[in-house]
Amino acid sequence: MSGAPRRQYTNPVIRWIEYRLPIFSTVEATIGADMPTPKNLNYWWSFGGLLTLALVIQIVTGIVLAMHYIAHGSMAFDSVEHIMRNVNSGWLIRYVHANGASLFFLAVYVHIARGMYYGSYKYPREILWMLGVVIFLIMMATAFMGYVLPWGQMSFWAATVITNLFSAIPVIGEEITTWLWGGFSVDSPTLTRFYSLHYLLPFAIFGVTILHIWALHVHGPNNPTGIDVKGPQDTIPYKPYYTSKYLSVFSAFMMVLAVLVFFEPNYLGHPDNYKPADPLQTPAHIVPEWYFLPFYAILRAIPDKLLGVIAMFGSILVWFILPWLDTSRVRSGRYRPLFKQFFWLLVIDFLVLMWCGAQPAEGPALIVARIATAYYFLHFIVILPLVGWFERPKPLPESISTSVLGSGAAAPKAAE
């Protein structure tokens, strides 16, 4: 960790490089491989590492797909079919990329929910949390632009609807959308720039992820009790204990991915995207990918165009101030009986919004979406600050060690 004296390396080659470019010690000090880690991390803590793996899978498969894909309005759709039918293993690489994106979002939602439940955003990890929100926003932009690239009907109309969100900006909205499109409607210039950005943004995610891990290493990870590490009796080395735990989670992830890719590769997709983009025909029912449905529901729940757009972006931006909205000094939801119930209500609310986003925006589904949207904001802006004031938390354990081993655990000091 920071402030520790830099290590002397025994390998002469490393020593030679280190003397001229201190890269090994710098990597170790910021995102280094080994660190004392709370001994009670459960499986929910594996999702951070899993997300890194998912990002690497997306980048590697994406680079290969880019070698075969053509970002032009008249050729994009056919080039994707070319990948599916002609390119060696093209179908495999594309299905891994498409389903990998879905699992990436599944993992990131679990990761965010874990952070919310165990209060991982609280002092002193606020910046760590905010960097995570930045990563999530870039992820959304990347996924959206990637979905446009196959240039099917859903791609085209998703691009149209989402870029039209910017026309809600007062005064300069029209100019901004024309600039985003590079024309007077979504067309080839739009596709090409989305392709450029879709290639760029994952590397931005990679960069912010390094900052995220760096911030993690300054104070170490939070843990299910939410109390700080008090000494070596509370920790175990990262290697091999947590690396082996990760490996089992990685395997499970790969199995789920394999089931999707090999048995139901289009389960999460939309059949309309196998029709080429047609600027003169809107599909009867436009829906985004499942991972955007809750935010799409919030957008449609508000009858005013500009306010709808503000609410949709606001529903994520509110996470930036979460560390200050939660007034409780107890981190972990495990010791917060009232908060715990509201947390699960929020999870249910999010799933309800997800269901609403897939329904046509009328009738009972619209009313449900409005109630769920109101509750979503109520949770963050009203309930969370109040619960911190009124709740009486359960007593915290003395230390991580006693919470794991019971009260008689003070004796075996070293876990190493």
Q: Is 180 in the site for another protein (CB under 8 A)?
A: yes
Q: Is 364 in the site for another protein (CB under 8 A)?
A: no
- The CB density around residue 58, as the number of other CB atoms within 10 Å, is 22
> Contact 379/349 with Cβ under 8 angstroms?
yes
Find the shortest distance in angstroms from Cβ 77 to another protein: 17
Cβ proximity to another protein: between 81 and 304 the closer is 304
Q: Is 141 in the site for another protein (CB under 8 A)?
A: no
> Contact 112/132 with Cβ under 8 angstroms?
yes
Of residues 292-311, which lie at the interface with another protein (CB under 8 A)? 300, 303-305, 308
**In this chain, which stretch among 16-24, 27-35, 56-64, 277-285 interacts with another protein, using CB under 8 A?**
277-285
In degrees, rounded to 5, the angle at the alpha carbon of residue 121 between the alpha carbons of residues 115 and 125 is: 125
Q: What is the separation, in whole angstroms, between the first and last Cα of the chain?
A: 19
CB-based burial of residue 170 (10 Å sphere; 0-12 exposed, 13-18 middle, 19+ buried)?
exposed
Binding another protein (rule: CB under 8 A), the pick from 16, 43, 123, 179 is: 179
**In this chain, which stretch among 52-60, 119-127, 275-283, 340-348 interacts with another protein, using CB under 8 A?**
275-283
Binding another protein (rule: CB under 8 A), the pick from 68, 75, 137, 182 is: 182
DSSP 8-class letter at 120? T
Q: Is 178 in the site for another protein (CB under 8 A)?
A: yes
What number of chain residues touch another protein (CB under 8 A)? 34
CA distance 124 to 120: 9
> Contact 43/9 with Cβ under 8 angstroms?
no
CA distance 179 to 146: 20
Q: Is 280 in the site for another protein (CB under 8 A)?
A: yes
Binding another protein (rule: CB under 8 A), the pick from 42, 185, 243, 341 is: 185
Q: Is 197 in the site for another protein (CB under 8 A)?
A: no
In degrees, rounded to 5, the angle at the alpha carbon of residue 363 between the alpha carbons of residues 358 and 365 is: 35
Find the shortest distance in angstroms from Cβ 287 to another protein: 10
CA distance 265 to 217: 38
In degrees, rounded to 5, the angle at the alpha carbon of residue 196 between the alpha carbons of residues 319 and 292 is: 35
Cβ proximity to another protein: between 92 and 286 the closer is 286
Binding mask 332-361 for another protein (x = CB under 8 A): ----------------------------xx
CA distance 208 to 36: 23
Binding another protein (rule: CB under 8 A), the pick from 85, 170, 171, 362 is: 362
Binding site for another protein (CB under 8 A): 157, 160-161, 163-165, 167, 178-187, 189, 193, 279-282, 284-286, 300, 303-305, 308, 360-362
